[in-house]
Amino acid sequence: MAEKTFRVVGTSVTRKDAPLKARGEALYADDIRLPLMLHARVKRADVGHARILRIDTSKAEALPGVKAVVVGEEAPIPYGIVPQMPTEYALAYKKVRYHGEPVAAVAAVDPDTAEKALDLIEVEYEPLPVYTDPKEAMAPDAVKIHEESPFPANIAYQAEQEFGDVDRAFAESHYVLEKTFRTSYVNHAFLEPHSAVAKFDTNGELTIWSGTQVPHYLHRTLSKVLEMPMQKIHVKVPKVGGGFGGKGEVSNNELIAALLARKAGRPVKLTYSRKEVFLQHRGRHPIEIRMKIGVDRDGYIQALEYDGTMDGGAYGGWGVVILFYTAAMLHLPYKVKNVRFRGRRVYTNKPTCGAMRGLGGVQPRFAMESLLDQIAIDLGMSPYEIKKKNAIDQTHETVSGVYVRHSEYKQCIDKVVENSGYLEKHRKLPFGRGVGLAGGYYISGTAYTLYMSYKPHSTATVRVDTEAGVTVYCGATDIGQGSDMVLGMMAAEKLGLPFDQIHVVSGDTTLAPFDLGSFASRVTVAAGTAVCQACDRVLEKIFSVAAVQLGCRAQQLAVADGEIYSVFEPHKKRMGFWEAVERYIDANGPLVASGEFTPPRRTGKFKGANIGHSPTYGFTAQVAEVEVDTETGEIRVVNYWEAGDCGQAINPQSVEGQVEGSIVMGMGQALFEQVRVAEDGRLLNPNLHDYKVPTAADLPQIRTHIVDSYDPDSPFGAKESGEGPIQPVIPAILNAIYDAIGVRFTEMPVTPEKVLEALERRKSERS
Amino acid sequence: MPSSVPSSRRPGPPAESVAERLAIRFVLNGKPVEARVEPRRTLLWVLREEFDLVGAKEGCGVGECGACTVLLDGEAVNACLVLAGKVDGRTVTTVEGLGGPEALHPLQQWFIRKHAVQCGYCTPGMLLSAAALLRRNPDPTREEIREALAGNLCRCTGYVQIVEAVRAAAREMAGR
């Protein structure tokens, strides 16, 4: 095991970007202004599903101040984050598949002119039936939203998995409970709307500044859609105002800005309005889940069956991957020996669903934690007991072949139950007040990539220079979560230097080496490993010089507090780090080294077997305490406790921020948030007034706890903390509501109307 | 007009449209300034486009998210909802003017120290709402802070560290 006495790791250093952000100095894409820059606006379809018969842009082009207009026919190459299944276009091509889809775009000298030009564009449609409900879309006679899709009706993809003898295990179960759950249509609601600035230079090279989570996927997609070599494209990520998955695939504003810039011969900025953010969407899939769990007399899980219909919206996006994540998520963090999964993702005429914080996990977690809670109560057992009994041990292999190399999940459950006083409160609080327990986990990166390449998933280069200092170059992108800080802290720890001496250059496809991007809670482990390895290789070079100087073996050398020393004679044989660096550079030239990370590759012999494997996993257990106002139906989350296993916290304050942000975001989905859609596919609340996200006023008292944990195979023992903590939030709150008023909600959001209706129904049933 | 008054960076509009523009003079981050803008422009537009102060962010454009919050005569307002003409003769403070030239404001310092800044898009607005609160209530309770910040959405932090930062800044400013 690595040394656990750290100087930088485990401390709450302040982020280097924080002062810039607190002073308004940090630049986001919309803050960028270039000479002669044009402003773009997008003409959007006012139909939900239609064939495009004609687009006439001549009047718009004739408007003074308009410099370029583009339509879908000018970029007819489909793309998608899943390269095997490209379904999308920069602008609607031949067909419109959701109300508000881009059909044309204008670049003009100012936003007003661009806006005016949109009204001059004429589009003629042949309307098609609009499907907003997956059930209608799956009807055998439904018109296909994607004609080329190989599955029946509007099924985008479907799959089955079976492990063990499910039917027999159910037959032999002491108690079986089945329920249907419906999850809601929610948006990330990051504060910064999508924005991109694109510029072509005289050599035909494209530079694009965009707030994306995945600069390298954007790089490749631009090359494909604009039909130009990748080496002529430079993607630069300025500060990103939040992503949560919503900027985890190419957004059409990026492609449209580039297309317009090329056509106009001038730089183009395209920033979306809040409504357009809701149209670009990629939020969490609504899923109708039928889940059945069988347990033995003692509450040990015998079998689990899942049937899920995912409402995918108009395009593919991350859909098929998420479908398989819902399958993978059934196998943890409990020991389940017999599992049947049936799932399908269905196209509908709505903004496309995709990756949202904790993708694929949140929905099945809601069902599973709710069912286990109910089963425990039905058996006269504490939900704590049933969860603890079934929880996986420190290492575990699922029946689907997923290997967990390190888990402190049991410790999480114990700790949160202890801190919250759950056992003293559950079923003992007065009517209207209750507590709920739920657990969860998430991957720390994936074992499989959609990037269609065998190269390492993360790479980093470290340059140590007597003049420029230490610079870490890594393609991993800081989207606000603080990954630059994490990577800088790791480099500082490795090189024995103060954190503020480390510069991090990230999110730049020209300057920084390849990294898949910021998603799947992967950066700390993947990019962190690459940075650590690069630092080790830098040290190897420095040590070779220092060893000669000090007269000892290079293998005896270590570094701390700016000094290189022999571990055997630390007082006698030591020299300054920078002195050694200078000698190395004088003799050899630049001091540079790279590192890389490729996750252990695991798979299986069934459909979707690539999905669910991860180098390591983060765990969490949570208790919510709610108060239900039985007069108004209003639910207030009063207290919230969390205990999490993120391995060694690189920066504990940063981990707390991730956990608290996850809890409040999950609470929003549980109680308030839902994008509502009219029958014609129009969004009814694409704004932050009618789409309610939690405010500071809704904040419960939150107490988080990082359990003692260290994954010896991870960089500095660290695991993920950004997506695991959102997994149990919804069921913890809904289990607490059950404890408070005896109503088991299986649909979210649990609004005051639904509470009052349920209380009324209960009253009439009793009388 | 004294020649020392800085004016906005843009060259004057073409002669025929001058009549449509409104001359406004106000104090921006402690300095008297003037601008000539179309009456329909918002304070947010004036700050970002005329004065290059991009600290105030546009998150929604209709006063729902608070990312554009600035101080108008010391009160927190959504700059996207304030028409330029309303600013004439008044005092505006943006995040760029919150601290002094040398040191950051205690709120900024505590936001940094308490890790209340993640993506940072809400940070400028959040800071100014907090500054307005501390101006009228130097010793707010947690609940008062939560209420005062309820118009500023943050999707990253879950607000906990922001509330803690405001409390710590209040304590420091009161010399407690």
- What is the arithmetic mean of pLDDT over A179-207? 98
Residue of A699, A701, A729 to mutate for B, most B C-beta atoms under 10 A: A699
Q: Provide CB contacts within 8 A for A564, sequence distance 6+.
A: A496, A542, A543, A546, A550, A557, A558, A574, A575, A576, A577, A580
Residues within 8 A of B (CB atoms), A 221-250 only? 239-242, 244
- Sheet of A301-313: strand order equals A155-163, A339-347, A301-313, A287-295, A175-182
Please name the helix (run of DSSP H) or strand (run of DSSP E) that holds residue A25, with its range, or none: none
Contact status, residue B90 vs residue B157, Cβ threshold 8 Å: no
The pLDDT, as a whole number, for residue B101 is 79
pLDDT per residue over A545-604, tens digit each? 999 999 999 999 999 999 999 999 999 999 999 999 999 999 999 999 999 999 998 889
Q: Provide CB contacts within 8 A for A23, sequence distance 6+.
A: B55, B95, B96, B98, B99, B104, B108
A697 contacts in chain B (CB < 8 Å): 146-147, 149-150
Residues within 8 A of B (CB atoms), A 696-725 only? 696-697, 699, 702
CB contact under 8 A, B160 and A699: yes
- Percentage of residues in chain A having pLDDT higher than 90: 97
CB contact under 8 A, A190 and B121: yes
User: What CATH number was assigned to the domain covering residues B20-98?
Assistant: 3.10.20.30
Q: Provide CB contacts within 8 A for A505, sequence distance 6+.
A: A471, A472, A473, A474, A511, A512
Q: Which of B39, B34, B56 is nearest to B47 (CA)?
A: B56
For helices A577-588 and A523-550, give the axis angle rounded to 10 degrees.
80
Contact status, residue A155 vs residue A138, Cβ threshold 8 Å: yes
Chain B's closest residue to A276, CA to CA, is B60
- Structural tokens at position B81: 């909802």
The pLDDT, as a whole number, for residue A1 is 40
The residue with tokens 């090279």 is A205
- Give, rounded to a whole angstrom, the gap between the first and last alpha carbons of chain A: 64
Pairing mode, if any, of strands A233-236 and A268-271? unpaired
- What is the arithmetic mean of pLDDT over B147-170? 98
B96 contacts in chain A (CB < 8 Å): 23-24
Check if B145 contacts A (Cβ < 8 Å).
yes
**Number of A–B residue contacts, CB under 8 Å:** 178
Check if B9 contacts A (Cβ < 8 Å).
no
Check if B6 contacts A (Cβ < 8 Å).
no
Check if B156 contacts A (Cβ < 8 Å).
yes
Question: Which domains are present in chain A?
Answer: 36-128+194-271 (3.90.1170.50), 287-392+408-448+605-766 (3.30.365.10), 456-597 (3.30.365.10)
Q: Which of A711, A620, A668, A662 is nearest to A412 (CA)?
A: A620
The pLDDT, as a whole number, for residue B20 is 85
pLDDT per residue over B44-73, tens digit each? 999 999 999 999 999 999 999 999 999 999
A273 contacts in chain B (CB < 8 Å): 61
CB-nearest partner of B112 from A14, A274, A480: A14
For residue A70, the distance in angstroms to the closest alpha carbon of chain B comes to 26
Pairing mode, if any, of strands A339-347 and A301-313? parallel
Answer whether residue A384 shows pLDDT above 60: yes
* DSSP helix/strand/coil, A676: coil
CB contact under 8 A, A15 and B151: no
**Using 50, 70 and 90 to split pLDDT, how confident is the model at A84?**
confident
Q: Which of B1, B55, B3 is nearest to B28 (CA)?
A: B55
Please give the angle made by the CA atoms of A755, A761 and A767, to the nearest 5 degrees: 135
Q: Which of A406, A303, A318 is nearest to A358 (CA)?
A: A318
The pLDDT, as a whole number, for residue B102 is 84
Check if A649 contacts B (Cβ < 8 Å).
no
Pairing mode, if any, of strands A301-313 and A287-295? antiparallel
Chain B's closest residue to A187, CA to CA, is B155
**CA–CA gap between residue A529 and residue A614 (Å, rounded):** 14
- What is the arithmetic mean of pLDDT over A636-653? 98
- Extended strands (E) in B29-97: 31-37, 69-72, 75-78, 91-93
Check if B93 contacts A (Cβ < 8 Å).
no
B106-173 carries CATH number 1.20.1250.20: no
Answer whether residue A180 shows pLDDT above 60: yes
CB contact under 8 A, B115 and A12: yes
* DSSP helix/strand/coil, B49: helix
CATH topology match: B20-98 vs B106-173: no
The pLDDT, as a whole number, for residue A160 is 98
pLDDT per residue over A513-536, tens digit each? 999 999 999 999 999 999 999 999
B67 contacts in chain A (CB < 8 Å): 191
The conformation of residue A350, written as its DSSP 8-state character, comes to S
The pLDDT, as a whole number, for residue A765 is 87
CB contact under 8 A, B150 and A697: yes
Contact status, residue A643 vs residue A462, Cβ threshold 8 Å: no
Contact status, residue A131 vs residue A348, Cβ threshold 8 Å: yes
Specify the amino acid at residue A576. G
pLDDT per residue over A30-55, tens digit each? 999 999 999 999 999 999 999 999 99
pLDDT per residue over B17-44, tens digit each? 445 899 999 999 999 999 999 999 999 9
Contact status, residue A750 vs residue A671, Cβ threshold 8 Å: yes
Q: Backbone phi, then psi, for A278, in 5-degree steps?
A: -65, -30
The pLDDT, as a whole number, for residue B7 is 52
Check if B96 contacts A (Cβ < 8 Å).
yes
A25 contacts in chain B (CB < 8 Å): 55
pTM beyond 0.95: the answer is yes
The pLDDT, as a whole number, for residue A448 is 87
**CA–CA gap between residue A543 and residue A677 (Å, rounded):** 63
A605, HSE (Cβ side, Cα atoms, 13 Å): 0
- Sign (positive/negative) of CA torsion A145, A312, A97, A105? negative
CB contact under 8 A, A480 and B127: no
**CA–CA gap between residue A252 and residue A352 (Å, rounded):** 12
The residue with tokens 């425990």 is A376
**Using 50, 70 and 90 to split pLDDT, how confident is the model at A136?**
very high
Residue boundaries of the structural domains of chain B = 20-98, 106-173
CB-nearest partner of A17 from B120, B149, B153: B120
Check if B42 contacts A (Cβ < 8 Å).
no
CB contact under 8 A, B161 and A657: yes
- Structural tokens at position A45: 């379809």
Contact status, residue A524 vs residue A715, Cβ threshold 8 Å: yes
**CA–CA gap between residue A226 and residue A190 (Å, rounded):** 28
* DSSP helix/strand/coil, A469: strand
A20 contacts in chain B (CB < 8 Å): 120
Contact status, residue A67 vs residue A57, Cβ threshold 8 Å: no
Check if B163 contacts A (Cβ < 8 Å).
yes
CB-nearest partner of B67 from A191, A659, A689: A191
Please give the angle made by the CA atoms of A140, A142 and A143, to the nearest 5 degrees: 135
Check if B29 contacts A (Cβ < 8 Å).
no
Q: Which of A276, A253, A277, A263 is nearest to A40 (CA)?
A: A253
CB contact under 8 A, A696 and B58: no
CB-nearest partner of B146 from A12, A22, A697: A697
CB-nearest partner of B112 from A18, A659, A660: A18
CB contact under 8 A, B64 and A687: yes
A139, HSE (Cβ side, Cα atoms, 13 Å): 11
**Using 50, 70 and 90 to split pLDDT, how confident is the model at B2?**
very low
CB contact under 8 A, B160 and A244: no
Answer whether residue B12 shows pLDDT above 50: no
